[in-house]
Each structure stands twice: as structure tokens, then as C-alpha cells.
Copies of this chain bind each other. A is one copy, B any other.
Amino acid sequence: MAVQVSVVGSGAEHEERAEAVGRLLAERGATVVTGGLGEVMAAASRGAKGAGGTTIGILPGETRAGANPWLDHVVISGIGHARNLAVVASGDAVIAVGGRFGTLAEIGFALTLERPVVVLEPGWEVEGTHRAATPEEAVEFALAAARPRS
């Protein structure tokens, strides 16, 4: 099974960097897991697909509504915002790109579950996370820290 890295965040202004993160992860053979919707989630998925990678989207609703078109596989969770837990738990590491309060919840859950978390600057400042200045640095750290949890 390939390494899985979750990319979380939001904000249209962060899409370019999120796309680079997705592309770099795919080039390194990692599967990209996101919440499956727009902005950062869509950009990371688009970047990964452009590089021939694999993408999984864990959607909040009861149907595929809102899914971006760069997903290979969808998980339709039906549990709303609580799916944020599944998004980060499914990553062997987590990269946060931008983001508002939902991203904060994801960082909190990721740290609770002891997943390595990289925040691509600028972004939430939370103790226990690693800071990265560039997509390259974020991906490098995430893949070095990633390890399956069992």
C-alpha cells in the first residue's frame, strides 16, 4: 500500500501552493487524501492527478455532491464536519495549507492521533506542528515523518 498523506486547508489564495503540494506528493508516489471538496482540497487533488498520482476524497455529505473532479475514489461519509477526523486519521502524515476553523479542528485531531503535521506558512500556529516555507519543504518533511499507524 502506498504512503497516504492528507492535505487539509481552504482559501482560494492558497490553491497554487496546494496544487504544488499535490504534485510533489504524487511524484514521490504518495496517495493524496483530502476532504474532497473545493479550493485547497481540489487544488491538491488536481496537482496529484496532473502528475499521474492517486487521490481519495472523504466527503461530508450523503452523496457525491460537491466532489471535485480530480478524485479517483470517494468516501461518502454522511457525517458532516465529523469527517475531518477521518481525513487526518487516514494520513500517515498531514499537510495544512491555509485554512480556517475546520482546518484548526483537523490539526487538533491530527495531533491528538499523533500524526505528524506540517503547516505550510503562512498558516495556523500550533505547538507540536512542523513549519514549512515551501511546498517542497512541506512534502519533504511529511514523507520523512510519515509512517503507517497500527
Contact = CB atoms under 8 A, between A and B. Distances in A.
Interface in A101-115: 101-109, 111-113
Most central of A31, A54, A77, A106 by chain B CB within 10 Å: A77
A77 B54 CA distance: 19
B112 A108 contact: no
Interface string A56-70: 101000111101000
Nearest to A58: B75
B64 A148 contact: yes
A2 B101 CA distance: 28
Contacts of A89: 62, 76-78
A144 to B, nearest CB: 20
